[in-house]
C-alpha cells in the first residue's frame, strides 16, 4: 500500500467516526443525550490520531513536494493552516465534553454547535485533501519520490482500524460498532 493509499484509508476511517458524531449532533438537537463518555473517546481519537499521526505524515509529504507546483503549494498552505484550526477545534470540544462529564453547567446548544462545527470542519478538510491535493500529488509523484518518502516518514499504525489494534482502543472500537448499530435502529 502506498503512502497516499494509507492516508486515503485514514480518511475513510475518520469519515466513519465523523458520520457517527454527525448522528450525535442530530440526537443532541432532538433532545436525546448520547453517551458523553464514548463521545469524548471518539473526539479524543479523531483529534489525537490526526494531530499525532495523520497530519504530521501529511505535513512531511507536503514539505517534500513543496516548490514543484504553485497551485499545490497554495493548497499545502491552506491544508497546514486547517491542521492548526482542527487541532484548536478538537481541543476546545474535548474540554467542553470533559466539562459536561464533570458536571460543569454548559448550555447543550453550545456543546452541540461545537460538535457540529468540529465535524463539519473535519469533513470539509478531508474533502479538500481528497479533491485538491491527493490527485495532483499522485499524478506528479514518481516511484522514486514515494520510495524516498517511505524511508523518511514515521509508520502509520492506526490503533483503532489498523491490523494491530492497541489494547487501549479495543473497547472503543467495540463500543463504536455497538453504538453505530444502536443509532441505526433508533432512527
**Listed residue (28, 49, 17) closest to 97, CA to CA:** 28
Question: Which residues constitute the domain of residue 7?
Answer: 3-186
In degrees to the nearest 10, what's the CA dihedral of 100, 103, 107, 108?
50
Is this prediction's pTM over 0.75? yes
User: CA triplet 153, 10, 95: central angle to 5 degrees?
Assistant: 100
Number of domains into which the chain is organized: 1
Tell me the CATH number at 104: 1.20.120.520
One digit per residue, the tens of pLDDT, for the chain of length 187 reads 588 888 898 888 888 888 888 888 988 899 887 788 888 888 888 888 788 878 888 989 999 999 999 999 999 999 999 999 999 999 999 999 999 999 888 899 999 999 999 999 999 999 999 999 999 999 999 999 999 988 887 665 555 555 544 455 556 667 777 776 765 555 4
Spatial contact of 165 and 17, defined as CB atoms under 8 Å apart: no
Q: Which of 78, 60, 77 is nearest to 145 (CA)?
A: 60
Amino acid at each position: 500500500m502506498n503512502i497516499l493509499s494509507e492516508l486515503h484509508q485514514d480518511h475513510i476511517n475518520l469519515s466513519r467516526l465523523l458520520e457517527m458524531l454527525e448522528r450525535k449532533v442530530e440526537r443532541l438537537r432532538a433532545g436525546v443525550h448520547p453517551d458523553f463518555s464514548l463521545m469524548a473517546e471518539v473526539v479524543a481519537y479523531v483529534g489525537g490520531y490526526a494531530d499525532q499521526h495523520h497530519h504530521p505524515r501529511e505535513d512531511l509529504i507536503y514539505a517534500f513536494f513543496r516548490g514543484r507546483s504553485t497551485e499545490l503549494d497554495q493548497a499545502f498552505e491552506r491544508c497546514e493552516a486547517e491542521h492548526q484550526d482542527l487541532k484548536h477545534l478538537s481541543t476546545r470540544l474535548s474540554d467542553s465534553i470533559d466539562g459536561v462529564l464533570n458536571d460543569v453547567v454548559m448550555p447543550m446548544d453550545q456543546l452541540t454547535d461545537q460538535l457540529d462545527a468540529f465535524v463539519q470542519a473535519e469533513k470539509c478538510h478531508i474533502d479538500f485533501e481528497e479533491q485538491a491535493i491527493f490527485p495532483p500529488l499522485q499524478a506528479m509523484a514518481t516511484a522514486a519520490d514515494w520510495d524516498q518518502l517511505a524511508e523518511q516518514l514515521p509508520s502509520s499504525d492506526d490503533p483503532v482500524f489498523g491490523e494491530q489494534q492497541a489494547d487501549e482502543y479495543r473497547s472503543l472500537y467495540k463500543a463504536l460498532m455497538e453504538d453505530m448499530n444502536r443509532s441505526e435502529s433508533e432512527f
